[in-house]
Amino acid sequence: MTGSTSQLRIVVVGNGMVGHHFVEQMVQQSVACDITVLSSEGRLAYDRVHLSSYFTGSSAEDLALTTEQTYQDWGVNFVTNAMVSNIDREGKTVSANGVTYPYDVLVLATGSYPFVPPIPGNDQDHCLVYRTIEDLEAIESSARQSKVGVVVGGGLLGLEAANALKQAGLETHVVEFAPQLMAVQLDPAGGDLLRGKIEDLGVQVHTQKATQSIEAGESCRYRMVFADGTFLETDLILFSAGIRPSDALARQHELAVGERGGIVVDNHCVTSDPSIYAIGECALWENRIFGLVAPGYTMARVAATTISGGDLAFTGADMSTKLKLMGVEVGSIGDAHGRTPGALAFTYHNQAKGIYKKLVVDAAQKKVIGAVLVGDTSDYDTLLQYSLNDIALPEYPESLILPSAGEAPSLGADALPDTATICSCHNVAKIDIVGAIDAGCCSLGDVKSSTKASTGCGGCAALLKNVVDRELEKRGVEVSKALCEHFNHTRQELYHIVKVEGIRSFDELLEGHGEGLGCDICKPVVGSILASVWNDYVLDPKHLPLQDTNDTYLGNMQKDGTYSIVPRIAGGEITPQKLIVLGQVAEKYNLYTKITGGQRIDLFGARVDQLPDIWQELVDAGFETGHAYAKAVRTVKSCVGSTWCRYGVQDSVGKAIDIENRYKGLRAPHKLKFAVSGCTRECAEAQSKDIGVIATENGWNLYVCGNGGMKPRHADLFATDLDSETLIRYIDRILMFYVKTADRLQRTSVWMDNLEGGLEYLKSVVIDDALGLGAELEAQMQHVVDAYQCEWKTTLESEQSRKRFRQFVNTQGTDSNIQFVTEREQIRPATEAEKRSGEARIPVEIV
Amino acid sequence: MQVKVDYVPEWHDVCAESDLVPNSGVCALIEEQQIALFAVKLEGEQKVFAISNWDPIGKANVMYRGILGSVKGDPVVASPLYKEHYSLTSGQCVEREDASVMVFDIKLENGRVWVAV
C-alpha cells in the first residue's frame, strides 16, 4: 500500500457528511498522515441535510460536498463501493473488496440506516426508504409510475420526505403511530397546529395508526391495513420511522456496543479499542445517539484533534432545532415537553395567525429550560441564548414570547452571564474581560491588547465596548465619551459641530476641535459624517485619506488583499441579460461567485488593479455600485409579491426597488439593511431588518430597528396600514434622525434602546413630530437623495482617480503573493502551504 | 569568531513626488520588494515614510492601503486587514510586541522620491 512508515496511517470507513468532515479536519492538522477512505456508496460525500432539494432541481453534483479531484489534491486515497469485510484488530488491517489496508488509526463513520418497521409486505418493490441519493433515484422512478404516496413516520425526517413526495407531484399522506406529528420536538398543541398547517398545504395526516400489513390494493398498488381496522390505499410507501446506528462491523469485531445499538465511545470518540474511533450517527456517547449533523461535525473535530495529539473533548450537544417544514416555521429548544420536575409553562396561541409558542421555565422561574415555536420562530435565537447561558428571566417571562406590544426586553451587558462569549474569534468570554479590567486595564484599547478581544473579525466591537464601559462604570471609573485620543467628542457631537459650523473637511475639524493626526477610528467617522451631511463624492482628494480601504477602493477587501465586487441589484430583481453579463465578467476575470444574503451576487478575487476594468464593463452594462463596502444602506430584500404570488397583497418588489433607489448609498453609523414582504407570511424576513415593510390589505406596516448578525434582534412594529407617501416620510425621518444622533458603529436597535423612552419616544419624534424636526429631517434626506451619484461611475470618469488603482506606483505588474487554487470548480485563495509547495497558480488575465 | 557583513542599502529613484497621495499611501516595487510609501503632514511639514508592504499578521501585501494617524504623537498606519497600528518611524506594532515591519530610508530630492533598499 501507499504511504511510508513514518506517516500515521489512518483508514476511515464511511464517507458521509461526518466522515468527510473528519478528512477535512485531518488534512488541516499539521500531522503527517496517510489517509485512506473506504466508502460503501458509489460517490464521495454529499449533503444529506438538503436531500429533498433533489426534487426541486438540485443534481447530485449540487449536493456533493467534495470532488474526487479535491481528495486527490489533498493526497487522500479513496475507494468507492467498498464493502468492508473484515477488521483484524490484532494485525491492525481492514479488508475491503479483497484488498487489505493496514492502519495505525481506524475511524468508523458508518452513519446509520433507516429503520423499517417489521410489517408483513414491507419488502415489496415500491416500499422505499429515504437516506441516500440512490434512494432518491428509486423514489423518483417509483413516483413516475404512482399517483399516491404514503410516508410512514411523522417525525422531522418523515415530514421532509413527505415534502419530497409532494414535490414529485403525488397525492401525499403521512401515517404516524403517535397521536401527533414531531412528537420528539413538539408538545401536543404545537403538533396539532403543525398538522393543521401541513394539511392546509394538501398533505393528509393520519395519526395513531399502526400499520399491520401491506397487501395488494384495489384502486392503488397497495393497501395498508391498520390495527384499528381502517385502511389506506397507495402506490408507494416511504419508511421514515427513525434511524438505527450502522454498527454491524463493530458488533462483528467485538467492540463495545450499546444495548439498543451504537458503538460506545468516550469523550474523545475512542471506542473500546484504543486504535479505533467512531464518530457521527454510529457512535454512542453516554448512551445517546446524536442524529444531527452539527454534533457529528463536533465529533469529527474531536477525533481529528485527538489523533493529532491535541486536547479536545466531546461534551454532548444541544439538540435544539429550528427549521422550515414545507414553509412552516418550527422551533424546539431543550425540554420542550416540560418534563423537568416542577417545570412551568407559558403559552401563547394565536389561532387567527396560526402561531403557537410555549416557553418552559424551571420551578424557581429563574431560567428558560425549553420552548416550542410553531408558525413563528423569530424568538428562537433569543430564547436559545437564554437557555444556553442560563440568563436570568425578565420579571414577566411571558414577554419573551408575546408579540411586542411595547418594549420587548433586550439583553444588555449586565444581563450577559460571565461565561457568555463576547469575541468568538479569540474565544474571549465576558469573565476574561472583567478579569482584564480587575488586573488593571482601564480602557477599551487596554482590554483589546490584553485579551485580543475584537482583534479578529471585529464584529464584536460594539458589544465589547458596551461590556467594558459598563464594567468601568461599575468600578467608578469615569468613562470617557471621547471618540479616540484625537477628539474629545462623541460622534453625535461631531455631527453637530460639522453641521453647525459648516465644516467640509477633516483637517478643518481637526484644527478647530481635535489634536494629533487622527486615526483609523476618527477618520472614517468624520468621513461618514461629511458624507451624510454633504454627500460629496467620497473619493474627493480631501476625503480620500479618511476612508477605510473598502471605501477607498470601493470594494470589500478579503484576507489575501483582493477585493470582492457587489453591483447593486435593487430589490433582488435582475434581468437574464444582466445575469449573463455578471457571469461573463466573472468568467473573464476568473472571479469566485457567490449569492449574498441580500439577494445580490458577490464576485470575489479581484486584484486592486483589475477593479476599474471590471467596473467599466459592469457600468457599461448598466450596473451601479452596491455600496457593499460602505457603512451605508445596503439592500432592500423582497419577496416576489402580489405580481406573481398567490398570497401576496401588494407589489413588494416594486416597493423594494423604489425604497432601495431612494436610500441607496446613504452613509450611516452602521450598515443598514431593509426588506419588503408582500404579505404577512413575511418571506422577505423584514422583521430582521433595520427597516422592515410588510404589506397589508390596506397598505404597509412599518417595522424598525431589527437586525440579524451577531446579536439578532426582532424589529418593532412602528406603524400600521400606511399609504406609500406616509411610509416614505416616516422612513426619511427615522433614518435621518438615526444618522444625526447615533454613536459610531451603533446599530439602529442599540440606538433606539438607548434613546430615553425607546420606541415610544421615536414614534413621538417621527409620527407626532414632538421635536418639530420633521420637515428639517425630510429636507436633509431629500438633499442626500438628490446628490446621489454612483461612485464607480464617477471614479471611472477621472484618469486621476483611476490611477489610484495601480498596484505599483513605479512599475506595471501585480502582487505575486495573490495566488489561487481551484475548489468546487472555482478559485479560492491559496493557503500558505499551497503557496510554498507551488501548487497554487497566479491568476492569468485573459486579454 | 563571527564575520560581520554589512549590508549597505542602495538609493533608488522611485517616482515623482506628485505620485504620492497626501495623507495616504502608495506602493512601489523596488528590487522585487513591495514597499509602502506614505506622505504625512506633521506639524505643518510634509514628511515621507517607507515601510514594507507586507502585513505580518494578516499575511498579505496591503499596508499601503491602511489609514494613517498618530498614537501619542507618533505617526502610524493601521493595517487595513485587522487594524493593528505600526509606527512609521520604527516599524513596531503598537498592539503586539512580537510584530513589526521593516522600515526603509526615504528622501525627497528635486521633486523625486528616493528610497534606500
CATH homologous superfamily of domain A8-112+245-307? FAD/NAD(P)-binding domain (3.50.50.60)
Please write the tens of the pLDDT for every residue from A142-181.
999 999 999 999 988 898 889 888 888 899 999 999 899 9
User: Looking at CA atoms only, how far is residue A807 from chain B in angstroms?
Assistant: 7
Is residue B8 one of the residues assigned to a domain? no
Q: Which amino acid is at A459?
A: G
Q: What is the pLDDT of residue B61?
A: 95
The yes-or-no verdict on residue A406 having pLDDT over 50 is: no
The yes-or-no verdict on residue A845 having pLDDT over 60 is: no
Q: What is the pLDDT of residue A744?
A: 81
The yes-or-no verdict on residue A458 having pLDDT over 60 is: no
Closest C-alpha to A740, from A768, A765, A704 = A765
pLDDT grade for A548, boundaries at 50, 70 and 90: confident
Cβ contact A114:A22 at 8 Å:
no
Q: What is the dihedral of CA A606, A610, A616, A618, to 10 degrees?
A: -20
Q: Where are the beta strands (DSSP E) in B1-117?
A: 11-16, 24-30, 33-42, 45-52, 54-55, 60-61, 67-71, 74-78, 85-87, 103-109, 112-116
Q: What is the pLDDT of residue A411?
A: 55
Closest C-alpha to A687, from A637, A740, A759 = A637
Residue A282 in marked binding region: no
Q: What is the pLDDT of residue B60?
A: 93
Measured between beta carbons, the chain A residues lying within 8 angstroms of B27 are 807-809
Measured between beta carbons, the chain B residues lying within 8 angstroms of A817 are 60-61
From the CB of residue A141, how many other CB atoms can be counted at a distance below 10 Å?
12
Contact state of A455 with B95 under an 8 Å Cβ cutoff: yes
> Could you say which of A541, A544, A808 has the minimum Cβ distance to residue B27?
A808
Percent of chain A whose pLDDT exceeds 90: 52
- For chain B, say whether A122 makes contact (Cβ under 8 Å): no
The yes-or-no verdict on residue A589 having pLDDT over 70 is: yes
Contact state of B84 with A807 under an 8 Å Cβ cutoff: no
User: Looking at CA atoms only, how far is residue B42 from chain A in angstroms?
Assistant: 8
Residue A683 in marked binding region: yes
Q: Does residue A632 or residue A478 have the better pLDDT?
A: A632
User: Looking at CA atoms only, how far is residue A691 from chain B in angstroms?
Assistant: 30
- Full 3-state SS string of A815-829: CCCCCEEEECCEEEE
> Could you say which of A449, A458, A544 has the minimum Cβ distance to residue B21?
A544
> Could you say which of A516, A559, A808 has the minimum Cβ distance to residue B29?
A808
Q: What is the pLDDT of residue A425?
A: 52
Number of A to B CB contacts under 8 A, please give it.
112
The yes-or-no verdict on residue A4 having pLDDT over 50 is: no
Q: What is the dihedral of CA A776, A782, A783, A789, to 10 degrees?
A: 160
Neighbouring residues of A164: CB distance < 8 A, sequence distance ≥ 6: A51, A52, A54, A55, A130, A136, A139
From the CB of residue A745, how many other CB atoms can be counted at a distance below 10 Å?
18
The yes-or-no verdict on residue A39 having pLDDT over 90 is: yes
Q: Are strands A236-239 and A127-129 parallel, antiparallel or unpaired?
A: parallel
Q: What is the pLDDT of residue A493?
A: 84
Is residue B15 one of the residues assigned to a domain? no
Does the A415-474 domain belong in CATH 1.10.10.1100?
Answer: yes
Q: What mean pLDDT comes out for the span A341-346?
A: 90
Please write the tens of the pLDDT for every residue from A66-90.
899 999 989 999 999 999 999 999 9
Measured between CA atoms, the residue of chain A closest to residue B94 is A449
User: Looking at CA atoms only, how far is residue A475 from chain B in angstroms?
Assistant: 25
Contact state of A808 with B85 under an 8 Å Cβ cutoff: no
Q: What is the fold of A321-403?
A: Enolase-like; domain 1 (3.30.390)
Q: What is the pLDDT of residue B72?
A: 85
- For chain A, say whether B75 makes contact (Cβ under 8 Å): yes
The yes-or-no verdict on residue A426 having pLDDT over 80 is: no
Residue A705 in marked binding region: no
Give, in degrees to the nearest 5, the angle at Cα A403 between A397 and A408. Answer: 55
Written as one string, the DSSP assignment of A272-340 is: SSTTEEE-GGGEEETTB---SHHHHHHHHHHHHHHHTT-----------EEEEETTEEEEEEESTT--S
Taking a contact as any Cβ pair under 8 Å apart, which residues of chain B between 14 and 33 contact chain A? Answer: 14-15, 19-24, 26-30
CA distance A334 to A739: 40
What is the CATH classification number for the domain harbouring B110?
Answer: 2.102.10.10
Measured between CA atoms, the residue of chain B closest to residue A445 is B95
Measured between CA atoms, the residue of chain A closest to residue B78 is A520
- For chain B, say whether A740 makes contact (Cβ under 8 Å): no
Q: Does residue A398 or residue A583 have the better pLDDT?
A: A583
Contact state of B78 with A519 under an 8 Å Cβ cutoff: yes
Q: Does residue A297 or residue A732 have the better pLDDT?
A: A732
Taking a contact as any Cβ pair under 8 Å apart, which residues of chain A between 430 and 449 contact chain B? Answer: 448-449
Q: What mean pLDDT comes out for the span A796-814?
A: 89
Domain ranges of chain A: 8-112+245-307, 127-241, 321-403, 415-474, 491-547, 554-620, 633-786
Neighbouring residues of A692: CB distance < 8 A, sequence distance ≥ 6: A674, A675, A676, A677, A686, A702, A703, A704, A706, A715
Measured between beta carbons, the chain A residues lying within 8 angstroms of B95 are 448-449, 455
- For chain B, say whether A559 makes contact (Cβ under 8 Å): yes
- What's the number of domains chain B is made of? 1
Cβ contact A829:A806 at 8 Å:
no
CA distance A510 to A487: 8
User: Looking at CA atoms only, how far is residue A599 from chain B in angstroms?
Assistant: 26
Please write the tens of the pLDDT for every residue from A40-73.
988 899 988 777 777 777 788 888 888 999 999 8
User: Looking at CA atoms only, how far is residue A449 from chain B in angstroms?
Assistant: 6
Phi, psi of A538 (to 5 degrees): -65, -20
User: Looking at CA atoms only, how far is residue A485 from chain B in angstroms?
Assistant: 8
The yes-or-no verdict on residue A844 having pLDDT over 80 is: no
Q: Which residue has the cell 487594524?
A: B83
User: Looking at CA atoms only, how far is residue B107 from chain A in angstroms?
Assistant: 16
Q: What is the pLDDT of residue A502?
A: 85
- For chain B, say whether A518 makes contact (Cβ under 8 Å): yes
Measured between beta carbons, the chain A residues lying within 8 angstroms of B22 are 541, 545
| Cell numbers for A531 | 458624507
Measured between beta carbons, the chain B residues lying within 8 angstroms of A842 are none
Let me know if the fold of A321-403 is the same as that of A415-474.
no
Contact state of A545 with B67 under an 8 Å Cβ cutoff: yes
CATH class, domain A633-786, is alpha beta
Q: What is the pLDDT of residue A408?
A: 42
Q: Does residue A160 or residue A14 have the better pLDDT?
A: A14
Closest C-alpha to A169, from A196, A198, A194, A140 = A140
- Domain containing B87 equals 22-116
- For chain A, say whether B37 makes contact (Cβ under 8 Å): yes
Q: How many residues does chain B have?
A: 117
- For chain A, say whether B117 makes contact (Cβ under 8 Å): no
CATH number for A127-241 (one of 3.50.50.60, 3.30.565.10, 3.30.70.420, 3.40.47.10): it is 3.50.50.60
Residue A441 in marked binding region: no
Lowest mean pLDDT among A620-624, A687-691, A743-747: A743-747
Lowest mean pLDDT among A7-21, A96-110, A316-330: A316-330
Q: What is the pLDDT of residue A563?
A: 96
Q: Does residue A481 or residue A797 have the better pLDDT?
A: A797
Please write the tens of the pLDDT for every residue from A718-761.
999 999 999 999 999 999 999 988 888 889 999 998 887 789 88
What does the mean pLDDT of chain B come to?
89
The ranges of chain B with pLDDT < 50 are: 1-4
Q: What is the pLDDT of residue A530?
A: 87
Q: Does residue A449 or residue A253 have the better pLDDT?
A: A253
Cβ contact A261:A241 at 8 Å:
no
pLDDT grade for A427, boundaries at 50, 70 and 90: low
What does the mean pLDDT of chain A come to?
88
SS3 call for B30: strand
Written as one string, the DSSP assignment of A74-142 is: HT-EEESS--EEEEETTTTEEEETTEEEE-SEEEE---EEE-----TTTTSTTEEE-SSHHHHHHHHHH
CA distance B117 to B112: 16
Measured between CA atoms, the residue of chain B closest to residue A545 is B24
Please write the tens of the pLDDT for every residue from A94-123.
999 999 999 999 999 999 999 898 899 999
CA distance A260 to A361: 32
Is residue B105 one of the residues assigned to a domain? yes
> Could you say which of A517, A520, A559 has the minimum Cβ distance to residue B75?
A517
Cβ contact A738:A669 at 8 Å:
yes
CATH class, domain A554-620, is alpha beta
Contact state of A804 with B19 under an 8 Å Cβ cutoff: no
Q: Which amino acid is at A716?
A: D
Q: Which residue has the cell 432541481?
A: A57
The yes-or-no verdict on residue A439 having pLDDT over 90 is: no
